[in-house]
Chains A and B, each alone.
Chain A
């Protein structure tokens, strides 16, 4: 299945969506963007809730624009679930399913057999969204759209359901668009990520590419990368480009940068830290000294901000708790920072 959006645009008062071009193959495309960026508009246009001002939406060559919701073969899980409150969970799924066996099959897949006779108002958040998903899947849609279905759930339930969705999505051979404003959910579920900003597609690509090689500063910051530094190219070599950030020279593995003024982007997870004065440090390229100015426990990892010899802004590294504890990190701790050349991404300077 292929969903192809071409030159899609829609204007609501002051908000302009598009022109938007996107091709979605089988697999999960996580649509990531801040509130009001047009993520839900994108889903509404594909589902047929809203008609575009111009452009085309093709599903396997079939034009969807102009066709009502009910004839699009597009399934949608709404942010708030949108279960019919006057029907039980079973009746909600049966509303869409053609046979009782299909209802039972989906209930088994989504592990909701025990709650089928309950009314939506008494379901927990996780149960509610499972039923909503089962109901949508009951129609065997050609495309599945999910509009932040986990956003209202508590963290433990969200994590569990996210893992289960990952397994479920792998079993579906259809294009899936999963809208979220949470980068972790996007990278966990998305085979690819599309970043949307102000109604425009900022970048689309493999999850790791978008996160580690952002096309713009907006993409970098929105995917959790605050390590953006102004720099300049000082040398091209076979190994790659050497850049200068402040007084520090960094060897990169990048060779295809045309500009001399660039923005150096280093994902926090790619920054390696070690205790200071390790004996072989001088042998390792891109090794600098940093002093911890601030650290933050984010549960599964620590964010460590360090002042470096290249001045402000601070460099951030994200490390797992065992590393943090082994290095006995606190404010003022001096560390050796190593940045592998392959972890340095260069972007043309916006100036």
Chain B
């Protein structure tokens, strides 16, 4: 019967409610899995105690090292990554696919393996590492080592995110600018980059957040000077879980700021 094949309004409502219930139930479980541990971390230690421990010279040094190294590695990733991201956005064919594959390699490699890979090139027994030590600029167990590790692991975030940002700038706009007598550089400065800025900011923010949280490759390449993630590990191993909380809370705070930047500053006003 025709009437049997159609849903009545009440059936539709029930079906709609049922569908929403399923999504809420399954999604809610996952959301809780994200939120509960983070909330638990903040509730584990009184805020006054956290603030008190943050004055510890060890933690302050770790924070300084992390912020400095992450800033430098983000800068390096931006300077070298933006041109590559632009090329990837405008090129196509097998070469583009191959280059993109190379760019995302550090993303899919376990960070510890990334550290081993880097040690084969920059380690103290490698030709480059030996030459750097001879020149008084060691590439392991140094700030340079931290930066190398962070750049390797975090820079793909910049390239991939900026690539998407450049792709969203219609190439016709660049042709229009150049047909108006403007050079490629002028076009990049006045048209392409301003329109891609929100995406680039998102990429820079993600890169900084990934760099400041980098642990695996950094452990392999530069245990000293200690970054915040390394300090968390050391505090956990040597002094127990509670001593790892303050730095962990600091890193969660940085992650929160990252989310804020991506959602507010990096939103595209022209879309």
Point out residues on A near B: beta carbons under 8 Å. Answer: 47-49, 68-76, 78, 80, 82-86, 95-96, 121, 135-136, 138-139
Contact = CB atoms under 8 A, between A and B. Distances in A.
B172 A96 contact: no
Instruction: Please provide the 7 A-B residue pairs with the shortest distance between their CB atoms, ordered closest to farther.
Output: A69-B178, A82-B176, A96-B180, A85-B270, A82-B172, A70-B178, A76-B179
A78 B172 contact: yes
B170 A82 contact: yes
A82 B173 contact: yes
Contacts of B195: 84-86
B209 to A, nearest CB: 27
13 contacts: A49-B175, A68-B184, A72-B179, A74-B179, A75-B179, A76-B179, A78-B176, A82-B173, A84-B177, A85-B270, A86-B194, A86-B270, A136-B180
B189 interface: no
Given A85-B270, A86-B270, A95-B190, A70 B172 contact: no
B175 A70 contact: no
Contacts of A76: 175-176, 179
The binding surface of chain B is classed by DSSP as helix
B268 to A, nearest CB: 10
Interface of B: 170, 172-173, 175-184, 190-191, 194-195, 270
Contacts, number: 62
A83 B183 CA distance: 17
A78 B175 contact: yes
B270 A70 contact: no
Nearest to A145: B179
B193 to A, nearest CB: 11
B179 A47 contact: yes
Nearest to A91: B190
B94 to A, nearest CB: 15
Contact of B175 (A69, A84, A86, A139): A69
B183 to A, nearest CB: 6
With most chain A CB atoms within 10 A of its CB, the pick from B176, B177, B183, B195 is B176
A139 B178 contact: no
A247 B236 CA distance: 104
Nearest to B180: A96
A33 to B, nearest CB: 21
A29 to B, nearest CB: 19
Contacts of B184: 68, 70
B90 to A, nearest CB: 13
Contacts of A47: 175, 179
A11 to B, nearest CB: 16
B179 A80 contact: no
Contact of A70 (B170, B173, B179, B194): B179
Contact of B183 (A70, A95, A139): A70
A47 B181 CA distance: 11
With most chain A CB atoms within 10 A of its CB, the pick from B177, B181, B195 is B181
Contacts of A70: 178-184
Nearest to A135: B180
A77 to B, nearest CB: 9
Nearest to B195: A86
Given A85-B195, A85-B270, A86-B194, A80 B172 contact: yes
Contacts of A75: 179-180
Nearest to A147: B172
A74 B178 CA distance: 10
A48 B191 CA distance: 19
